Structure 1
Amino acid sequence: ACEQTCTNKRTAFFLIYRAAVSGVLATSLLERPVTPLQDEIQEAPTQLEVLQELIRRRIQPDSSHQTLSVDQQREMAGILISEVNACWRDIRQQIDYPFFNEVENHELNRRIAVHIVTVCIALFRRYSESADELSKRQVFSSEANHARMKIQLSMDARKL
């Protein structure tokens, strides 16, 4: 049984290596899949970079999006990240809830972090869908729509 397992691992490694060398293997196959948010955040992030990375991994630009270019999607993600940066100090200075014990306060802080990431994901999706709807209506140019959406996204993200 051990020999069969070793042979299977060697074969799998060889196939992946051959595909990578030939350029067939997409980089997304080599990337680790996104862990469910509730499982990934075991405790509230203590560094801004950790929270930023949690958000970035979940709001990746989609090149197949019909209305927004990858650069426009990156701009939207940047707006969300910058608004999280702006409220980071308040998040870190938050005091514990006096009627909770240490474990409950720890869980509360974890849930706040999960909520921040969840709201960023929801805003990104909502505004991506809004771009599609505004494009279909053709009332304003795509540039005007995108400018209006960025402003509105920033205002909504400040409510975090």
Structure 2
Amino acid sequence: MHTEVHVHGTVLLKSGVSQTDIELALRHWFDYVDVDGLADARSAHQDEPGIVFDRRRRSLDICWTGYVGRNFQHSLEGAFESLSPYSEEAAAVEVSYYQEDGQDEHSWVFVGPTPESIRDMQRRRMIDDLSALLARHFGDAEIGEVTALVNQMFARRASDAPQDRTQVRSGGVSGKKHLH
């Protein structure tokens, strides 16, 4: 059984990164979907650019949809772990799985030049998510309390053992497709 997946985000790259560097880093992903390189990394949806390396802006812009099986997430994580040394700063890349039964799954893959930068991006992403959720029922003061607690939790975790470079955070289940 194949599932539709959408991968969306932008990774800013260090100066001097070449297309060959990017293609080698993304090899796990490319091998999984059976493409040779960026020129072939087109989205299944005609209106999406796919995976585009913009040398002038030093960015990797991803708006790609494909049909994948169970091991795709592992391949994607391997690709982003290989991409991390080329990244200028941490980035969160959204991964959305659209199940046939309508129970969509959303997660994030994080990429960054250091484990610390990735943890900070994870923290910021979580605070954004929680703030949006809490804003439906609570004011700024209550949201600030939760934000302070999240900051404390991340500070504690930072003093623990190092984590993987590409942590995944599962999101909620949604019944709606939303690509952007």
TM-score by length of 1: 0.30
**Which of 1 and 2 has higher RCO (CA within 8 Å, sep 6+)?**
1
Flag the structure with higher strand content: 2
Structure with larger Rg: 1
Flag the structure with higher helix content: 1
